[in-house]
Every structure is written in structure tokens, then in C-alpha cells.
Amino acid sequence: MEYLKYEEIPKIRKKLKDIGVTTESQNRLPIFEPTLKAKDGIRVFENKYGKLTVKGRLGQVHKNLLETIFYERELYDFFEDGDNKYLKVLYHEYKVKKYLTTGSTTYCHREYKQLIEDMKQAYVELETNKVKVKGPLILEKTASKITKKTKCNLPNLRGKEIPLAVITFGPVITTLFEKELRFTYDPKPILSLSSGISQAVVRFLKTHKNHPSAGYHLKPLVENLVGEADGKKWWKIKEYLKEDLETLKSIGILIDFKRDRLFVVNNNIGYIQNINCNL
């Protein structure tokens, strides 16, 4: 990967199978806390899909960045080092930050660096019926020897050859992408949601092929991601969902708060599955 010229990448990329942007456990378990303002600490969680312990700070903003890196990736590959296997992804940092930019505000480079650092520092222990794995999400991010001329209009970047970035993922992300069902979708509609719980609910729904015509009972659905939700906690969650009501509707989700039910009403929600295979 390191010794390629940028012009060689498109031809190689066409030969690669789609690795997707996420996996079932990443969306069905709150590895990434369902909030945009995750706090550093220790979280222990269990639902019917598995159990996990997270030490560190991981929230939906981290998931937004991670999915965008996979969505905008140039190349990926699995590398073996003795008994260990690592997934590496090559990507253009400017393209990723541009994709994450909303409105006229440029995505903050300092926040981007902090989110990468958080994912390097976080330690996850995960157990499902398919995998049992523990470790950091990211081992390192380095500058590749492969460069690409940027189209950015900023004076300090215009026309310059920028090194692509390489992320080496730790055992958790590597194992999940190797052994679980993987899913492909455009993260952009999820980024438009204003709350972490709304983003997490949409991601959870995207891992399900069929949705009940009578709708989901809202509270049990949400409790898959937050644990027991009663009193003030449940009231606050519903307030966040209400703020995103119109945006959720635009991507195919209706919520009837009087009946506490959620309906998936069209295919915009998307279920695009990549069956696990030997890569």
C-alpha cells in the first residue's frame, strides 16, 4: 500500500470487495455512547446482542468520523504480524473533514485530532455469540508516502501535494470487520440529526432487514442502546427525539409519541448488507 502512486489506486480499488462502513455490533451495542457529548469513564452494558465494557470516551461524534473514514476510504487491507491481524485504511484527511463539514463552518482540525486520540486511548472489551475481543479501537495514524494534489482553496493548501493518512485499527475493529455482518450506507443523513440518541437509533435500525408493520415499541427499542430508561431520563430522550422529528421523517422514520411507537415507513432507512467473506 505504501509504495503505490495515487494514480494506481482506482484500478486496485475496483478489485476490492466492499468492506462497508460499519458492522452489526458497532450499531447494535453502544460501543459508541448514544450522545454527542460522551464523557471519559467506564461503561458496562449488556443487551440481547452481547455485552461490553468501554473505558474511555466514545460517542456518536466518534462514530460519525469512523464511518466517514470508511465511506471515503481510498484503499483497505488486512495485514498479519505474527499471530496478530490488523486492518489498515488509507484515506484523504481533507476529503473526510470536508464531508463532515456542515453549512459554511469548516470542520475543526483540532476536534478531528482529538477524536482520533480518543479512539486510540479507549479500551473496549466485547463479547457476542460471534466474537470475543478486547483492545483499543485504533493503534496508530500515520502519514502515508502516497500523496495527492489537493483541490482545497485555502492559500496554505491550494495545489499542494498532501500525504494520505493511514489508520491501523486494533483488534476490536479488525475482528468486527473480519467476522461480523458489515453494512454499507451513506453516513451524511445521519450527520444531519442533532442528537446522539437519534443517530444511534437510526444506526441500530440500519442493521435490520425487516421492520414490523405495526411499528416498534419506542421505549424497548431505545433501551437496546441506553439500558433502562425511566422518569427524567426517558423524558429527556423523547425531547431529543422530538427535536429531530422532521429530519427522521425525511429519512423514513416516523415516531408517534402518543402511542410511543416508531415506524420505518420507506426504504430510505436502508439495509445494505455485505455478507462476511474471506478478504
pLDDT digits (tens, 9 = 90+) for 218-238: 999 999 999 999 899 999 999
Q: What is the mean pLDDT of residues 29-51?
A: 96
Strand 182-183 with 161-169, pairing: unpaired
pLDDT digits (tens, 9 = 90+) for 201-216: 999 999 998 899 999 9
| The residue to which cell 402511542 is assigned | 259
The span from the CA of 244 to the CA of 186, in Å, is 18
Q: What per-residue confidence (pLDDT) applies to 158?
A: 60
Strand 182-183 with 22-23, pairing: antiparallel
Other CB atoms within a 10 A radius of the CB of residue 174 amount to 22
Other CB atoms within a 10 A radius of the CB of residue 141 amount to 18
pLDDT digits (tens, 9 = 90+) for 110-149: 899 999 999 999 999 999 999 999 999 999 999 988 887 7
Q: What per-residue confidence (pLDDT) applies to 133?
A: 97
Single pTM value for the model: 0.91
Say if residue 55's pLDDT is above 70. Answer: yes
Confidence of residue 269 (pLDDT cuts 50, 70, 90): low
